[in-house]
Structure formats: structure tokens, C-alpha cells
Amino acid sequence: MSDKFSVEGKVAIVTGGLGQLGTQFCRTLAAAGAKVAIYSRRPADEATLAAKFPDLTGRIRVFVASVTDKEALERVTDEVVALWGVPHILVNNAGIDSRPSGPADQNSPFEVYPQKYWDEIIETNLTGVMLCCQVVGSRMAEAERGSIINVGSIYGMVSPNQALYAYREKRDGTPFIKAISYAASKSGLINMTRYLGTYWAPKHVRVNLISFGGVAAAGFDKEFIDAFLARVPMGRQAEVEEYGGVIQFLASDASSYMTGSNVVVDGGFTAW
């Protein structure tokens, strides 16, 4: 049974693979024997890679491309194919959100929310995934195999609860509204996953999504964490290491009968 979870010798692409979750996904896949191509907007020097991926740098390479730039995606994917062959795994992980510490208008009330932030987030989180699927998934379909994993969020399934952020206005005196764009982009991914999962089923390319809950990280306000954790049945945020297993599962033959699905990994947040 454990062989079913193997990704030994497979070729994986992880977009945004130098970020918090992406780094973990690359570690998991490389430690399980895959060769991993990171698509990143910026290059990374050897010291950075060695620090992030001790003992795994031989299996991990960075390719410079934004997920919003189709020409760059075509170019780097040609390079990956020439180096390692047609990829078996694509993890659409790159994503952006409005920053709680960003300019006030990023978190302004919906009625006056600037379109430029909507455009940026939709372009990266939704159009970027579509382009990566088009460029990499088409090559997988031609090879008649592959697994695409889209990285979603609980906010693709349920709306952000504005009560979690109400302390900000009380504290700062400025309205703070968790914006619409991220939630809309991640919910769009759920049906993009169903669309492509069914579209490519005859070509044996599986497409699934994971709706992740919040991961522990530095920098959250205590008021936010207390309010958030009160709504998580497991009473805690995830540790990033806890997210690798489901990636390996969906990347490998252990999930061979799954496509078009939304796998929820959220400590029970959306079960309440």
C-alpha cells in the first residue's frame, strides 16, 4: 500500500514554491523522491536554497516566471521538459491576499474597495492558475497522465467573518473589512477544478483542490488569533508540516480515483 504514495522519479512543478506553504510542499515532494521545479518571480541564490531545502537542493531548481505571464510559463516549462521530461505533478500554490498591515484602502469597506486590488488578486489567484493549467496541463494531457493540485482556502468555501476583524476598527479608528477578492478567487478555483477535472478525465490528468485553513505564523495580532481559534473546533492553527501529507496523497497514485474534488484540511473550521 505504501508504494501507492510514492512520487519517486516524478517531476513536479510548484508555483510560488519559496513561500511559506510552497517551501513545505517542495520539501515533501523532494524528500519523497520527486524532482521539483519552483516557478518564482525572483531567482534564489544557492545559499537561500540550501537554507530552505537542506539535503534536497540536488532535486530542486528555481525557474523564473510569474504565473501571470504566459510567455514566461511556456519558456520555463520547455526548459523543465528538456531537463527532466513532461511534468507529472503541478501544484498551483502561488497566491496573494490583501495585507492586514497594508494601506488602509486594501481593507476598506466593499462600497469603496479599489478595483486595482481586485484586479491584482484575481489575476494572480485565478488567471494565474488557469494559465499554469493551460501551459503545463496541456503537456500532461498530451502525455496522457498527470496530477494538478490547486491550493484553495476556507475562504473559497465560506465568507470571511468580518467579526474576526472588528477589533481593528476599535483599535485604529479606521474601518477594516476583509476584502472580497481573495474569497472570490479561491471559490472560483473550486469550480475551475471541477471543470478541468472533468475536461481532462479522458486524458488521465486528475485535477483536485485543497481548501486549507490558517497556518501558524509570526505576526498575527493576538485579538485576531483569539477570535479565529474560538471558531476552529480543533482550537489551533495548522503547523505548516501538517499540510505536506495531503499534497503527497493527491500527487501520487494513492488518490488515483480522485478528480474534480475539494479536499478540506481546516481543523474543522467549515464544519461548524
Ligand X SMILES: NC(=O)c1ccc[n+]([C@@H]2O[C@H](COP(=O)([O-])OP(=O)(O)OC[C@H]3O[C@@H](n4cnc5c(N)ncnc54)[C@H](O)[C@@H]3O)[C@@H](O)[C@H]2O)c1
Only segment of 66-74, 75-83, 221-229, 251-259 that touches ligand X (CB under 6 A):
66-74
Angle, vertex CA 33, rays to CA 30 and CA 38, nearest 5: 30
Spatial strand order of the sheet with 89-92 comes to: 60-64, 35-40, 11-15, 89-92, 146-153, 205-212, 262-265
CB-based contact 126:233 (threshold 8 Å): no
Selected range binding ligand X among 14-22, 45-53, 73-81, 109-117, rule: CB under 6 A: 14-22
Q: Pick the piece of the chain touching ligand X (CB under 6 A) from 61-69, 106-114, 197-205, 244-252.
A: 61-69
Read off the C-alpha cell for 212. 486549507
Does residue number 164 form part of the binding site for ligand X (CB under 6 A)? no
> Binding to ligand X by residue 86, rule CB under 6 A?
no
For residues 150 and 114, give the distance between their C-alpha atoms in angstroms, rounded to a whole number: 27
- Here the contacts of 44-49 (C-beta below 8 Å, separation 24 or greater) are 44/18, 48/18
User: Can residue 13 be called a binding residue for ligand X (CB under 6 A)?
Assistant: no
CB 203 within 8 A of CB 211: no
* Region binding ligand X by CB under 6 A among candidate stretches 10-18, 45-53, 107-115, 160-168: 10-18
CB of 4 to ligand X, least distance (A): 26
Q: Single out the residue of 7, 11, 12, 22 in contact with ligand X (rule: CB under 6 A).
A: 22
Residue 252 as a binder of ligand X (CB under 6 A): the answer is: no
Site string for ligand X, 133-162 (x = CB under 6 A): ------------------x-x---------
